[in-house]
């Protein structure tokens, strides 16, 4: 009996050692003088944004900036963006990397990034001050551990023109509406306007009827595929309801969809609502547009989460960096509370990922940008088995079929049935191309 007990303890010890070795969470040595290489837009931008602060705090560390413009000038012959980025980073071998979510996830899986968990604990670095859900999302991208940090996030909110709502005696939007509630509110502006001036309820950018269906569907929790992504499921009641919402909105002209990024109707006071990033606040002021505007959260499906919060510039430390301590000190400074406080003093169209520092702009509360929790990273299309090229192949047939429905040349049921067939063919085509 004693031998069994000792054997059990021995095996647990071995498993524990193996586990800790596999995690590779190394503690960092004290700072050494030297040079680190960092990826950034260009040297001037880096110095203005972060470099001058870092040099003041760490004069013994030189920073060599690897301009992202080299990705275009030296690797433009590589058609695939991910492959070009990979070649660019492998060529210059930076200590501090700047990655989007897709490349960040790939580099974690390939073991190319340094695990920050131990050094965060070692330095008592505060990760609780970031906006709700952001650290959870980064950990989800990092298979449960933290491999990068984000000083700024891409956020969106629903802007509305308070004057138009008062003029047409419509209740203004509120936080955490559903998509159906939003489109019903936009419908209240149907037929409004005078003197040849039409007023839309909602203006959307970078959209068309097909993209709008996908956007609302995914944001409403609908699934386009079965579990193994063998079948396209667009011919279902949930998707057909979304198709009807979009069709009714476009037909009635309560919703206008712009294929480009222009908010021209909202800026010209011809649309009561539009979605926008913090940049839109800056544009309204810089263009001298006199408007009583307000913001509320993006529409939600459940759990007060938003999929419209993205991390396009994740700072990470290379797993092969010869000076990880210096690289980490830069990442720590960029993402620290002091930097968030400093950046919040001069608003430039971006919002810090740390909360509590930039609370208002031009007398308007920015609470709506931070109110929703960041939704944890999910697989593309909500399913890991879907080829990346599916969207580019499917969006045009979806747009075309939706246009036919809007023009009353086909019913939603007929379009959904045909789209399921076309979607299935596109799925097989995308999968076939992936295997080549």
Kindly state whether residue 89 falls inside one of the protein's structural domains: yes
Closest CA to 123 of 141, 100, 103, 149: 149
DSSP structure string for 319-382: TT-TTHHHHHHHHHHHTSHHHHHHHTTS--S-EESBTTS--EETTEE-HHHHSSEEPPP--GGG
Which CATH number covers residue 174? 3.40.190.10
pLDDT of residue 3: 42
Paired tokens of 351: 């919002």
pLDDT of residue 436: 63
Distance of alpha carbon 206 from alpha carbon 208, whole angstroms: 7
pLDDT of residue 31: 86
Give the sign of the dihedral formed by CA 139, CA 144, CA 146, CA 148.
negative
Residues 268 and 238 in one domain: yes
pLDDT of residue 368: 93
Structural domain of 333: 26-154+310-374
Kindly state whether residue 240 falls inside one of the protein's structural domains: yes
Three-class DSSP category at 152: strand
Residues 36 and 94 in one domain: yes
Residues 295 and 411 in one domain: yes
Residues 348 and 402 in one domain: no
Kindly provide the residue ranges of all beta strands, DSSP E only, lying in 75-194, ordered along the sequence. 96-99, 148-149, 152-153, 157-161, 193-194
Kindly state whether residue 109 falls inside one of the protein's structural domains: yes
Distance of alpha carbon 377 from alpha carbon 24, whole angstroms: 23
Report whether 156 contacts 351 (CB < 8 A): no
Kindly state whether residue 83 falls inside one of the protein's structural domains: yes
Q: How far apart are the first and last CA of the chain?
A: 58
Report whether 119 contacts 328 (CB < 8 A): yes
Residues 235 and 330 in one domain: no
352-377 per-position pLDDT tens digit = 999 988 888 888 899 999 998 887 75
Owner of token pair 């004290």? 30
Report whether 380 contacts 388 (CB < 8 A): yes
Residues 56 and 105 in one domain: yes
Residues 207 and 142 in one domain: no
Kindly state whether residue 34 falls inside one of the protein's structural domains: yes
Residues 239 and 274 in one domain: yes
Kindly state whether residue 8 falls inside one of the protein's structural domains: no
Domain count, the chain: 2
Residues 221 and 287 in one domain: yes
pLDDT of residue 348: 74
Query: In this structure, how many other beta carbons lie within 10 angstroms of the beta carbon of residue 419?
Result: 24
Distance of alpha carbon 103 from alpha carbon 71, whole angstroms: 14
User: Which parts of the chain register pLDDT below 50?
Assistant: 1-23
Residues 416 and 270 in one domain: yes
Q: Tell me the pLDDT of the chain averaged across its residues.
A: 88
Residue that is last in its domain, among 323, 341, 374:
374
Residues 419 and 397 in one domain: yes
Kindly state whether residue 12 falls inside one of the protein's structural domains: no
Residues 88 and 198 in one domain: no
Kindly state whether residue 16 falls inside one of the protein's structural domains: no
pLDDT of residue 375: 79
């Amino acid at each position: 009996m004693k031998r069994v007990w000792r054997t059990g303890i021995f095996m647990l010890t071995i498993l524990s050692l193996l586990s800790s070795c596999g995690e590779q969470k190394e503690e960092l040595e004290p700072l050494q003088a030297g040079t680190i290489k960092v990826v950034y837009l260009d040297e001037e931008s880096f110095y203005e944004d972060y470099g001058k602060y870092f040099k003041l705090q760490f004069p013994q560390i030189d920073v060599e900036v690897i301009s992202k413009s080299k990705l275009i000038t030296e690797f433009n012959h590589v058609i695939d963006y991910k492959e070009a980025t990979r070649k660019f980073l492998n060529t210059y071998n930076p200590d501090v990397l700047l990655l989007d979510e897709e490349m960040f996830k790939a580099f974690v899986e390939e073991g190319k990034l340094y695990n920050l968990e131990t050094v965060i604990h070692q330095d008592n670095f505060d990760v609780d001050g970031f906006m709700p859900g952001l650290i959870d999302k980064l950990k989800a991208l990092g298979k449960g551990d933290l491999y990068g940090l984000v000083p700024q996030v891409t956020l969106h909110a629903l802007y509305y023109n308070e004057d138009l709502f008062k003029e047409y005696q419509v209740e203004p939007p509120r936080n955490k509406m559903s998509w159906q509630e939003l489109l019903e509110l936009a419908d209240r502006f149907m037929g409004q306007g005078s003197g040849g001036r039409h007023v839309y309820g909602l203006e959307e950018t970078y959209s068309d009827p097909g993209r709008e269906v996908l956007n609302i569907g995914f944001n409403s929790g609908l699934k386009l595929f079965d579990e193994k992504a063998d079948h396209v499921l667009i011919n279902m009641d949930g998707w057909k309801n979304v198709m009807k919402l979009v069709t009714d909105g476009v037909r009635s002209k309560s919703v206008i969809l712009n294929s480009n990024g222009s908010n021209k109707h909202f800026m010209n006071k011809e649309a009561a609502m539009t979605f926008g990033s913090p940049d839109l606040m800056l544009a309204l002021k810089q263009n001298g547009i006199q408007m009583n505007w307000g913001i509320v959260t993006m529409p939600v499906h459940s759990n007060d989460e938003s999929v419209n919060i993205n991390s396009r510039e994740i700072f990470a430390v290379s797993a092969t960096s010869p000076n990880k301590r210096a690289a980490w000190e830069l990442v720590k400074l960029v993402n620290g509370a002091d930097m968030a406080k400093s950046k919040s003093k001069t608003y430039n169209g971006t919002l810090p990922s740390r909360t509590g520092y930039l609370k208002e702009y031009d007398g308007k509360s920015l609470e709506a940008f931070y109110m929703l929790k960041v939704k944890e990273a999910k697989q593309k299309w909500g399913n890991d088995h879907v080829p990346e090229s599916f969207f580019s192949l499917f969006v045009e047939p979806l747009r075309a079929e939706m246009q036919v429905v809007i023009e009353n040349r086909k019913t939603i049921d007929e379009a959904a049935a045909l789209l399921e067939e076309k979607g299935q063919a596109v799925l097989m085509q995308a999968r076939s191309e992936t295997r080549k």
